[in-house]
Chain A
Amino acid sequence: MMTESTFPLLSALVFLPLAGAVALPFIKDDRTIRLFSLIIGLMETAMALPLLRYQPGVPGFQFVEQIPWVPEWGLTYFLGVDGISLLMILLTVGLLPLCVLCSWNYIGKRIREFHFMLLLMTSACIGVFASLDFVLFYLFWEAMLVPMYLLIAVWGGPRRKYASIKFFLYTLAGSTMLLVAIVAFFNSAGTFSIPELMTREYPFGFQFWAFLAMALAFAVKCPMFPFHTWLPAAHVEAPTAGSVLLASVLLKMGTYGFLRFCIPLTPDAALYFAPLMIGLSIASIIYGGLVALGQQDMKKLIAYSSVGHMGFVTLGIFMFNLRGVEGALLQMLNHGITTGALFMLVGAVYERSHSREIADNMGLGKFLPAYMFFFGLFSLSSLGFPGTNSFVGEVLVLVGAFQSNVIIGALAIPGAMLAAAYMLRLLQKLAWGKPESGSRCTDLSIREWAYLAPLAALVLYIGLAPTRTLSIINPSITDLLETFRSKTAITASIDPAGPHPVPSTLAVNRQEVLK
């Protein structure tokens, strides 16, 4: 069921940053450019507030806009949100002004182009989460690669050329298989419209290959072990805003893809491959944690921690129970908030000490108490401390894991312990390590407070009172799982008059009708 909207809210959200980007070449002064981008960001956030009028109980998509695009090829301009994508859009929109704020002094050259890329990226990201037409989805999916590549390549660190090309080619290679899957779906079903594709059934052989193709693209994006090595390189070399967007938004597209496409469109294959995906998730969790523990570069540490956290998300998704998927979706939101904030904090300290090494940034607690307070809060959130947002997500995923299989839950627990180990080690060194290097640094400015305080408030809000957030996502996930279960259920109908061997049992996950 579609709920049409009177004002094209989603289109406005997608195209406002684009319009802002187009207007940028006409602004001469650097400071005005920054202010303009900030204002566009704040307008975007304000414009996204009506999305909170989303009604969780109503099934199907809301705020839908559907316009025929290329009718001969069956393409429509189809946008809509449900509980799964709503939070992601809000996250993207909320992060735009914060990214502008945290790049205020960080970016020194080519300010106009930088903000152009930021706005373009936001447009593309919102488009990815909102689009309900497969080709439109692919268009936005690829569209965000180029701005990200440029963000890293132009404004990045010493090894930016290597990192940016690696990111671009790796992700593109994965996405080409997604294109193959899209075309295959069109051949099979005759439509690109995702809600329509979701209503059909596909033979298992088709699902097998389609799942593999889509999963490759999403697994690279997530990133899942062993397709994750582009992430540390990209994160280390990217500028702060680039890292924030990469960690908070781009990574979520992979898991969003799993939730939106792999589970509804290829449920049997998802069930078939679940052991593999669960294994890779647990490997991501533990491997990401172990490697993070051995890092000396702060950004690389947080990058590997992202691998671990996204491992929790994919683990939750492939549990196929309410707790697991709920936790996974909530973790997507939480990870966006927390890791985004951590990257902003690392950027803030880089502006002061011009080094990302832990050894060059020790003992900051005495001189930068406000900074350390935020770093402490977000570190605690990152390790899943009760009272913070990540605790709610992780505990839901773990409950789902234990409900499904105790062994899986038990294997995921060391990952949570490793998260505590590396985050606390980082926090301890940064706050109290010797030799102290913070004496020349100033504490947080008003601008830095402005972009950290909202994230801190969200951490505590979702951590202590998650009911509202969970009520938004719950109905959509329940629908998703119900559809999944009905499609993968065992059904049989036996012709009572025929001479059949009794009983006729069927293979699991196959839908057969015996005549």
Chain B
Amino acid sequence: MIGTDFLHPAVWFIAMAAILPLLPGDRWRRLLPVPAVLAILSVLSVKSGTYGEIHYLGQTLTLGRVDTLATVFAHVFAIQALIGFIYSMHLTDKAQHVAASLYVAGGFGCVFAGDYLTLFMFWELMSVASTFLIWLNRRKDSTAAGFRYFMFHTLGGLFLLGGMLIRYKVVGTFAFTPTGPDMARWYDYLILLGFCVNAALVPLHAWLPDAYPRATITGAVFMSAFTTKTAVYVLARGFSGFEVLAVGGTIMAVYGVCYACIENNARRILSYHIVSQVGYMVAGIGIATPLTMNGACAHAYAHIIYKGLLFMTTGAVLYAAGTARLNELGGLVRRLPWVFVLYMVAAVSISGMPLFSGFVSKTMVIAGAAEAHRTWLALGLELASVGTFLSVGLKLPYFAFYAKPDDMTRSLTPVPGNMYVAMGIGAFLCFFIGVYPQFLYAMLPFEAHYVPYTAWHVLQISILLGFTGYGFYLMVQRLKPEPGFNMDFEFFYIMFGRLFLRLCRYPFALVDTWWSAVYRTGGLRGLLAWAKGSSVFDRVVIDGVVDGTAGRVRSLGHAAAGTQTGRLQTYITGAVLLFLAATGLVATLMLLN
């Protein structure tokens, strides 16, 4: 982990996770942003190269493969980690902080992994740690959601593991290198499947809107950034140019916003938006021109910041009002003005309004798709922008902060100051990247020239957003949120699950019950009977011989001692008899010879 010029950022987070449970008192919360700051320093100072190679059991694990692609992701991970930890500084629950630290460490580990073994290790670390971020919400639905999340992610991890091991058998190495689309074999597709689970590719995405709204307020902020963007990174590293990603990404983008428009829970809307926005990135990776790849990376960067900000602001509303359901909220603008303002910064960023970060990143992917003559994909991605602005930019804030007069009987828990600070940093970055895109563009790994602020781009987005706004104004009553559950692909997961359970319950369980009975009666009882028999054998037979011999010798000694009568007559008689016997014996021998 420690090279000559590189201190792996994951080290700081793992160290914090290790010592946090041991720290007493209350002041440990000040330590929380420290690993993130150190991570930022580490990422800023690192030079490209390979660091931290470990040889174990005949394999070489590369823990620090640093190049521009990895650095841009690590850069934003570090910044978002800092924002996230500042946001969660008010929590006294150490378990949540430990889970978040390990989760972030896993993210960094995946980004810098040079081989599949290291990647898998950190991938599973992220899986487990993020499950705890859901479970630590300590509600009944969160517990169930956490289980579902964990099962699904374990399935994804197993796809990855299986693909990677079979690939090793065939190719002979675990090195994490790009796979060309024409060279891909079935095991490469298996690995791709594993990555797509984390990237929430439709139809493998249903875990995201199921689990993220049920996570803790601070946990959701972390989770929105790391799991999906790590998946984007590994797809960018290993599977750029795959057509299935290009098409699948566009489908994701449109699918996500369709569901987002009809959802009621604010955080569920945002979760579907993650699906949608990641769709942009995945499509960019699938199309794989330098411009779209740059667009995917830039979009990942900007998305982490503004999605984090979105989750932070809705989290603040949830914290204050106790609910995230739009039909139960309304009229909060007067009492939570800053939350509203910061939310709108993020909302316009995600919609791609000029002067904010979404405009300089999202449009790059769309422009790249158009330049690569992928007309349908480009149109699909543009369409998704409409839905994004409609649901996140208009519907959510309107129904959360306006729509109804404020219900003064509802008391709002005051939002802690650290949350405002974190949100402020996020909003500042959204704006900063928007007006100074060179900050982001300088970090991008591929060579492509793109100018966001052209007249045509600004006009295009203004038309799009303007008409979307007008449409919302016309249809606002139709878009009113209603409580309810919109069934998504989980229908199919549940179906498969029930079938599998039925298979286990009837034929397998029957065989197992019968076999367990055989094992218990024949095997176990038989073995214990043998054991008891051996024990008895040991005591009676072997020890019998040993102790018996000792006893025999003792009794012989006793008998011999019985001849010690102490009476002279006995001794003289004995001596004489012995002498006569000896003489007789000698005489007999001499006669015989």
Mark A residues whose CB is within 8 Å of B.
Answer: 166, 169-170, 226, 229-230, 232, 287, 290-295, 421
Chain B residues, CB < 8 A from A232: 538
Cα(A290)–Cα(B536), bound, Å: 11
Known: A169-B550, A421-B527. A291 touches B534 (CB 8 A): yes
Interfacial residues of chain B within 266-287, with CB under 8 A of chain A in the complex:
none
Chain B residues, CB < 8 A from A295: 535
Cα(A287)–Cα(B530), bound, Å: 10
B1 to chain A: closest CB distance in Å? 18
Cα(A170)–Cα(B528), bound, Å: 30
B542 touches A226 (CB 8 A): yes
Specify which of B530, B531, B538 is in contact with A229 (CB 8 Å cutoff): B538
Chain A residues, CB < 8 A from B527: 293, 421
A294 touches B534 (CB 8 A): yes
B543 contacts the other chain (CB 8 A)? yes
State the 10 A-B residue pairs at the shortest beta-carbon distance, nearest first: A294-B531, A293-B531, A290-B534, A294-B535, A294-B532, A291-B534, A229-B543, A290-B531, A291-B535, A229-B542
B542 touches A290 (CB 8 A): no
Map CB proximity to A onto B519-533 as digits: 1 under 8 Å, 0 otherwise.
000000001101110
B546 contacts the other chain (CB 8 A)? yes
Cα(A292)–Cα(B535), bound, Å: 8
Extra 18 A-B pairs, beta carbons < 8 Å, given A287-B538, A290-B530: A166-B546, A166-B550, A169-B550, A170-B546, A226-B542, A229-B542, A229-B543, A230-B546, A287-B534, A290-B531, A290-B534, A290-B535, A291-B534, A291-B538, A292-B531, A293-B527, A294-B528, A421-B527
- The prevalent SS among residues of A at the interface is helix
- The prevalent SS among residues of B at the interface is helix
Cα(A169)–Cα(B549), bound, Å: 12
Chain B residues, CB < 8 A from A169: 550
A293 touches B528 (CB 8 A): yes
Which A residue's beta carbon lies closest to that of B544?
A: A229
Task: List 24 A–B pairs whose Cβ atoms lie within 8 Å, in order of A's numbering.
Answer: A166-B547, A166-B550, A169-B550, A170-B546, A226-B542, A229-B538, A229-B542, A229-B543, A229-B546, A232-B538, A290-B530, A290-B531, A290-B534, A290-B535, A291-B531, A291-B538, A292-B531, A293-B527, A293-B531, A294-B528, A294-B532, A294-B535, A295-B535, A421-B527
Instruction: Please indicate which of the listed interface residues A166, A170, A287, A294 has the most CB atoms of chain B within 10 Å of its own CB.
Output: A294
Cα(A108)–Cα(B72), bound, Å: 69
Which A residue's beta carbon lies closest to that of B536?
A: A294
Map CB proximity to A onto B194-210 as digits: 1 under 8 Å, 0 otherwise.
00000000000000000
Which B residue's beta carbon lies closest to that of A288?
A: B534
Cα(A226)–Cα(B543), bound, Å: 10
Cα(A421)–Cα(B543), bound, Å: 25
Instruction: Please indicate which of the listed interface residues A287, A290, A293 has the most CB atoms of chain B within 10 Å of its own CB.
Output: A290
Cα(A287)–Cα(B536), bound, Å: 12
Which B residue's beta carbon lies closest to that of A225?
A: B542
Cα(A295)–Cα(B531), bound, Å: 8
A387 to chain B: closest CB distance in Å? 12
Cα(A232)–Cα(B550), bound, Å: 17
Contact-residue size bin, chain B (C-beta under 8 Å from the other chain): 10 to 19
Chain B residues, CB < 8 A from A291: 531, 534-535, 538
Interfacial residues of chain B within 512-568, with CB under 8 A of chain A in the complex:
527-528, 530-532, 534-535, 538, 542-543, 546-547, 550
A414 to chain B: closest CB distance in Å? 10
Instruction: Please indicate which of the listed interface residues B530, B531, B543, B547 has the most CB atoms of chain A within 10 Å of its own CB.
Output: B531
Instruction: Please indicate which of the listed interface residues B532, B535, B543 has the most CB atoms of chain A within 10 Å of its own CB.
Output: B535
Interfacial residues of chain B within 231-280, with CB under 8 A of chain A in the complex:
none
Cα(A290)–Cα(B535), bound, Å: 8
A233 to chain B: closest CB distance in Å? 8
Chain A residues, CB < 8 A from B528: 293-294
Instruction: Please indicate which of the listed interface residues B532, B538, B546 has the most CB atoms of chain A within 10 Å of its own CB.
Output: B538
B366 to chain A: closest CB distance in Å? 52
Chain A residues, CB < 8 A from B532: 294
Cα(A248)–Cα(B398), bound, Å: 77
Which B residue's beta carbon lies closest to that of A293?
A: B531
B519 to chain A: closest CB distance in Å? 13
Cα(A421)–Cα(B547), bound, Å: 30
A297 to chain B: closest CB distance in Å? 11
Chain A residues, CB < 8 A from B531: 290-294
Chain B residues, CB < 8 A from A293: 527-528, 531
Cα(A287)–Cα(B367), bound, Å: 78
Chain B residues, CB < 8 A from A166: 546-547, 550
Cα(A232)–Cα(B535), bound, Å: 11
B542 to chain A: closest CB distance in Å? 5
Cα(A291)–Cα(B538), bound, Å: 8
B188 to chain A: closest CB distance in Å? 31
Chain A residues, CB < 8 A from B543: 229
Cα(A166)–Cα(B548), bound, Å: 12
Chain B residues, CB < 8 A from A292: 531
Chain A residues, CB < 8 A from B546: 166, 170, 229-230
Cα(A226)–Cα(B538), bound, Å: 9
A116 to chain B: closest CB distance in Å? 29
Chain B residues, CB < 8 A from A229: 538, 542-543, 546
Instruction: Please indicate which of the listed interface residues A169, A170, A226, A229 has the most CB atoms of chain B within 10 Å of its own CB.
Output: A229
Cα(A328)–Cα(B528), bound, Å: 29
Chain B residues, CB < 8 A from A170: 546
Cα(A295)–Cα(B539), bound, Å: 12
Cα(A294)–Cα(B535), bound, Å: 6
Chain B residues, CB < 8 A from A421: 527
Chain A residues, CB < 8 A from B550: 166, 169
Cα(A9)–Cα(B546), bound, Å: 42
Cα(A176)–Cα(B538), bound, Å: 25
Which A residue's beta carbon lies closest to that of B539?
A: A229
Chain A residues, CB < 8 A from B542: 226, 229
Cα(A444)–Cα(B534), bound, Å: 36
Which A residue's beta carbon lies closest to that of B535?
A: A294
Chain A residues, CB < 8 A from B530: 290
B525 to chain A: closest CB distance in Å? 12
Cα(A292)–Cα(B528), bound, Å: 10
Cα(A169)–Cα(B551), bound, Å: 13
Chain B residues, CB < 8 A from A294: 528, 531-532, 534-535
A509 to chain B: closest CB distance in Å? 32
Instruction: Please indicate which of the listed interface residues B527, B534, B542, B543 has the most CB atoms of chain A within 10 Å of its own CB.
Output: B534
Interfacial residues of chain B within 59-94, with CB under 8 A of chain A in the complex:
none
Which B residue's beta carbon lies closest to that of A421?
A: B527
Cα(A232)–Cα(B539), bound, Å: 10
Which A residue's beta carbon lies closest to that of B530?
A: A290
Which A residue's beta carbon lies closest to that of B541?
A: A226
Cα(A166)–Cα(B550), bound, Å: 9
Cα(A92)–Cα(B158), bound, Å: 47
Instruction: Please indicate which of the listed interface residues A230, A287, A293, A295 has the most CB atoms of chain B within 10 Å of its own CB.
Output: A293
Cα(A421)–Cα(B528), bound, Å: 10
Chain B residues, CB < 8 A from A290: 530-531, 534-535
Chain B residues, CB < 8 A from A230: 546
Cα(A71)–Cα(B529), bound, Å: 60
Map CB proximity to A onto B367-404 as digits: 1 under 8 Å, 0 otherwise.
00000000000000000000000000000000000000
B217 to chain A: closest CB distance in Å? 33
A306 to chain B: closest CB distance in Å? 14
A461 to chain B: closest CB distance in Å? 15
Cα(A232)–Cα(B542), bound, Å: 13
B22 to chain A: closest CB distance in Å? 15
Cα(A166)–Cα(B543), bound, Å: 11
A27 to chain B: closest CB distance in Å? 39
Cα(A326)–Cα(B318), bound, Å: 64
A216 to chain B: closest CB distance in Å? 14
Cα(A421)–Cα(B531), bound, Å: 11
Chain A residues, CB < 8 A from B534: 287, 290-291, 294
Which B residue's beta carbon lies closest to that of A233?
A: B543
Instruction: Please indicate which of the listed interface residues A230, A291, A292, A295 has the most CB atoms of chain B within 10 Å of its own CB.
Output: A291
Which A residue's beta carbon lies closest to that of B538?
A: A291
Cα(A44)–Cα(B546), bound, Å: 39
